[in-house]
C-alpha cells in the first residue's frame, strides 16, 4: 500500500511514468467495465473515454 501511495503522489504531481504505472494497475478494472457494458456502444470508444476520465480525475484520488 505504501508503494501505491508513492506512485499516486508522483502521478498527481505530473510524473508520466507513475501515471502509466497507475493505468497498468487499473487496466483490468477498466477492461471489466468495458466488457460488461451495454452492447449498443462502441467498446473501444468507451475504453478511451474511461481512460481519459481516469487520467483527468487522478488528482482527486484520495488515500485511505
> Does residue 62 sit in helix, strand or coil?
coil
Nearest to 34 by CA among 42, 24, 25: 42
Q: What is the pLDDT of residues 9-54, one digit of tens each?
A: 999 999 999 999 999 999 999 999 898 887 788 889 989 999 999 9
Model pLDDT, residue 2: 61
Please determine, for residue 1, whether its predicted confidence score (pLDDT) is greater than 60.
no
Backbone angles phi, psi at 37, to 5 degrees: -75, 170
21 and 7 in contact (C-beta within 8 Å)? yes
pTM: 0.75
| Rounded-to-integer distance, Cα 49 and Cα 64, Å | 26
Amino acid at each position: 500500500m505504501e508503494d501505491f501511495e508513492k506512485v499516486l503522489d508522483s502521478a498527481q504531481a505530473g510524473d508520466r511514468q507513475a501515471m502509466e504505472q497507475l493505468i497498468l494497475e487499473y487496466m483490468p478494472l477498466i477492461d471489466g467495465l468495458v466488457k460488461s457494458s451495454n452492447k449498443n456502444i462502441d467498446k473501444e470508444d468507451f475504453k478511451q473515454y474511461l481512460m481519459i476520465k481516469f487520467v483527468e480525475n487522478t488528482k482527486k484520488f484520495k488515500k485511505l
